[in-house]
Amino acid sequence: MSARNPGVEYDSSWFDNIHVNLPAVKRRAETLGTRRTVKKQWQAAWLLRAVTCIDLTTLAGDDTPSNVSRLCFKAAHPVGKDILKAMEMENEGITVGAVCVYPNRVADCVKYLKAANRPDIPVASVATGFPTGQVPLKTRLEEIKMAVADGAKEIDIVINRHFALEGNWRGVYDEVRMMREACGEAHMKTILATGELGSMVNIYKASMACMMAGADFIKTSTGKEGVNAILPVALVMVRAIREFYQVTGYKVGFKPAGGIRSAKDACTWLSLMKEELGDEWLSPHLFRIGASALLIDIERQLFHFVYGRYAAAHEIPMS
Ligand SMILES: O=C[C@H](O)COP(=O)(O)O
């Protein structure tokens, strides 16, 4: 992870001058996924890069130590040895960016990652009454502290949509600031739940309030809203990140989450980061994809790539 964003004093003028050109954002988002063709071998390299940026997630009522143990094993070995060997990457020790679970499963993950000899893979815990945040502030702060005490190195908090929808940005800032304190040394990702914020302007302002309050990442969604990670929203958020960096010098990461399931989508999200924020935002310390099923399709596509090369070398017809 990058150096922490210490945040800045609350300053309401950030909310008066919105530099994101919203009609341009919409036009750009419409073409982003379709106007690039990338050579096959580059695609494979990008897919491996995407793997390292995945927050491999399970956030279900029926999560158990047993399914979390499988998640941790997969996090430590996300791509088959044969595929990595064919790509001459078997010694790279590729893992996902983190595992992401409910607070009650954090201790299990810490245990299983240790057993898998990858205690370095961070455990991210959702907290603060995820996904709605509709519990008292005291409880939300306690939940953060308990997850950190159990070994979470990253905390994904949800913002108070009630404050955001009433335009109470000072309220959003103050709560996130307290959550940041409660995180201690753990990195904090702030989930905006953009599908519930009502407008692009609110998404921009929520991004700014969270970054001012010391968010290390801003994250689109919980995965539980009706609309989750979509490109127009992402463009507003990454341009807010760019603006915050230009003014303060602090680099904040970005995490789209919810509904990202195909390898092609992963490449689109990576190209968004490269084009809007630059190469530094292509690594796990500044970019994560929150996803429960994306890895399955990436592995499938990498297998096709490797098998395609083998078939071509041995003149085996592909059908
Ligand atoms: O933060 C991660 C999301 O909850 C995962 O959503 P997903 O199951 O649609 O991939």
Digit-coded pLDDT (tens) for 16-66:
877 777 777 777 777 766 655 556 667 888 999 999 999 999 999 999 999
Report the pLDDT value the prediction gives residue 111, as an integer from 0 to 100. 98
pLDDT, residue 87, reads 82
Tokens of residue 5, six digits: 């964003």
First-to-last alpha carbon distance for the chain, in angstroms, is 43
Q: Which residues in the chain show pLDDT less than 50? A: none
Residue 127, H or E segment = strand 123-127
Radius of gyration of the chain (CA): 20
219 is catalytic: yes
| Confidence (pLDDT) at 89 | 81
pLDDT of residue 211: 98
ipTM of this predicted structure: 0.95
* pLDDT at 39 (0 to 100): 61
- Residue from 156, 189, 292, 297 whose mutation best tests the ligand 1 pocket (most atoms within 8 A of CB): 292
- Residue 57 Cβ < 6 Å to ligand 1: yes
Atom from ligand 1 closest to the CA of residue 223:
4
- Pair 75, 56: CB distance under 8 Å: yes
- Compute the C-alpha angle 146/150/155, nearest 5°: 65
User: Residue 287 has what DSSP assignment?
Assistant: B
Token representation of residue 36: 């690039």
Q: What is the pLDDT of residue 310?
A: 67
Name which of 137, 204, 134 is nearest 167 in CA terms: 204
Q: Give the C-alpha distances (Å, rounded to integers) separating 76 from 66, 70, 108, 112.
A: 16, 10, 15, 10
With a 6 A CB cut-off, is 258 part of the ligand 1 pocket? yes
Based on the residue annotation, tell me whether 224 is a catalytic residue of this protein: no
Return the SS3 of 308.
Answer: helix
Q: How far is the CA of 191 from the centre of ligand 1 (A)?
A: 12
| Residue 223 CB less than 6 A away from ligand 1 | yes
Ligand 1 centroid to residue 202 C-alpha, Å: 22
Query: Could you tell which of 222, 262, 297 is best to mutate to test the pocket of ligand 1, judged by most ligand atoms within 8 Å of the CB?
Result: 222
Running DSSP on this structure, what letter comes out for residue 122? Answer: P
- d(CA 111, ligand 1 centre) in Å: 23
Q: Who contacts 158 (Cβ-Cβ below 8 Å, separation ≥6)?
A: 126, 128, 129, 130, 131, 132, 133, 190, 191, 193, 222
Give the Cα separation of 99 and 117 in Å (integer). 15
Q: Which domains does the chain have, with CATH numbers?
A: 12-309 (3.20.20.70)
